[in-house]
Chain A
């Protein structure tokens, strides 16, 4: 069991479009390694550090800004903190807790984001795992053609589905502008990729394991719960994390299906509104942006392994 898991993990760790080369890291003799080390020049490292610095400065500047007083944010740049240091959490309290029509109200939107993203990550994973199992291990006529169709759906841009789906939600189901509408929309849009990736993974589970269970009299439901789910946990975690972040960071689906009120709309939508009136919200935006970034950054730094794996596997998301 652990064997097939590691096998499958390796499969996900390798970027798509790469041939099955023997993994060089383990077999590489130490002599070779030394040769390769010599190839990296100090100039290359210096250039790399320069690029890394350039890439980090914008985010770093915003983080520094978020801890400066509103007057300071408005009157000069964040680099002045090195000349006249100051520190305040005022902005964070302002955007999170002050309520009222003109305030940022981010506390509520933060809750909305969580309430949207958790189910919208779990629903597609569950439904996709079932469908992926059916495609991989239940033989039926037209299985191949149907799977290709599902794969092909990845190329349909979200924009193609927005208007009719909104009509279905508002006229047939009457749930437009509610949490279930956003959940269902994200579930639908996430399904093609989730089914495709999980199918690739579940198909690799050794046939003997499933055959043995079948001989023991297990039916599909039992096989699904006793073999497929336990063996696919690493893949489920990677793809689940990725779907969660995708939903958390999404703006388009939220704009169309959430109705745009503080009752349902997520953080991204409120941020887009705030930045739309940049002049009035200048001192609020750094703290507001960091409140929305904190969840992805925690996920990123604590689960980077899973995150990278999901990214490598998901790099064909259309």
Chain B
């Protein structure tokens, strides 16, 4: 370590503490002024003090940009000329973008289904078993790490070495070799490479599904399970007729949440293939178009498509939650 490193460290943390101090001072002044506001119209001033910071940030940073992006999607690459629906026509006629859209549909069809299925099965298996906590932690752990970190972990699992060049360093290809098979280039052979990327997302999201579903399973009243047992239901019937209906609400939340996360998946594709070899998805393509190629019109159009894809899932989720509130 050099002294350069430490001066850099000091400068950055200095900036951080300065930022924190400025922020604290700003919030402090706002609340102090609200505290000392003139008796007349005090209510309004206090309301503004509490609400305005958040509303201004959201308005400038989210509402305006979202509307602006929607508008930009009808303009050309540097937003200087109105082009109507050209960007959308481009999207649905360009073969690579069609592949991208298709891949996104494959992702959103497979990841929520597989993660929820694995998570549910695992949650049922470990329920009330010995060492439940440890078993839970092990599957849940990928949830805490970054998608980029997960991407690196799985790059090593999939790593390919040509036969005769060296020994395999990826476990998956080594297993193939042990079984007497040819090693595969898992991340380059389209269309299967998309499925190997999906495995990474499933690996991450299963823990999430498992933790939520496990909590829900423990909420199913024991009396009902016992009653179905007395009626002679076997474990399989019990699972389908008692447990699954009992956790329906949580299942909906899990599936919709994972679907939304999957639609927006960016880091995994970015870190593992960079969107090459026909593995790109909408969120990644949007970044590539807007920030690597400077095609802001096309990037904005892709962002809008992403929004349109997320919208129905969220609406459904909100409706289910509201129905349940009413039942309550």
Q: A residues engaging B (CB < 8 A)? A: 13-21, 24-25, 28, 32-33, 35-37, 39-41, 44-45, 47-49, 51-52, 55-59, 61-62, 65, 73-79, 97, 99, 107-108, 111-112, 114-115, 118-119, 122-123, 126-128, 130-131, 133-135, 138, 140, 146, 150, 153-165, 168, 179-180, 183-185, 187-189, 191-192, 195, 219-222, 224-225, 245, 248-252, 255-256, 268, 271-272, 275-276, 278, 282, 285-286, 288-289, 292-293, 296-297, 299-301, 304, 307-308, 311-312, 315-318
Q: Which 9 A-B pairs have the closest CB atoms?
A: A188-B61, A249-B146, A17-B249, A164-B65, A131-B54, A300-B144, A161-B65, A134-B50, A48-B125
> CB-CB < 8 A to A78: which residues of B?
169, 171
B293 at the interface (CB under 8 A from A): no
CA of A28 to CA of B132, assembled, Å: 19
Known: A17-B321, A48-B129, A115-B16. A165 touches B53 (CB 8 A): no
Contact A157 B303 (CB under 8 A): yes
Q: Report the nearest A residue to B166, measured CB to CB.
A: A75
User: Whose C-beta in chain B lies nearest to the C-beta of A221?
Assistant: B35
Minimum distance in angstroms from A261 CB to a CB of chain B: 12
Q: How far is the CA of A301 from the CA of B137 in the complex (A)?
A: 8
B142 at the interface (CB under 8 A from A): yes
**8 Å CB contact of B153 from A14, A58, A76:** A58
Q: How far is the CA of A192 from the CA of B34 in the complex (A)?
A: 24
Contact A19 B327 (CB under 8 A): yes
Evaluate contact between A111 and B211: CB separation under 8 angstroms.
no
User: B185 at interface (Cβ–Cβ under 8 A)?
Assistant: no
The yes or no answer to B90 lying at the interface (CB within 8 A) is no
Once bound together, how far apart are the Cα atoms of A35 and B257, in whole Å? 34
**Which of B50, B139, B168 meets A130, CB within 8 Å?**
B50
Which chain B residues (3-60) contact chain A, with CB distance < 8 Å? 4-5, 8-9, 12-13, 15-16, 19-20, 23, 27, 31-32, 34-35, 42-43, 46-47, 49-51, 53-55, 57-58, 60
Q: How far is the CB of A142 from chain B (nearest CB, A)?
A: 11
6 contacts between A and B (CB under 8 A): A15-B250, A25-B218, A97-B1, A138-B43, A157-B264, A272-B271
How far, in angstroms, from A249 to B143 measured CA to CA in the complex? 11
Given known pairs A187-B57, A251-B266, the reply for A221 and B253 (CB within 8 Å) is: no
Q: What residue of chain B has the Cβ atom nearest to residue A80's Cβ? A: B167
Q: Across the interface, do A159 and B317 meet the contact criterion of CB distance under 8 Å?
A: no
Interface residues of B in 53-82 (CB under 8 A from A): 53-55, 57-58, 60-66, 68-70, 72
In the bound complex, CA of A175 to CA of B125 (Å): 52
Question: Looking across the interface, which residue of chain B has its beta carbon closest to that of A117?
Answer: B16
* Pair B16/A119 contact, Cβ less than 8 Å: yes
Are the CB atoms of B47 and A161 closer together than 8 Å? no
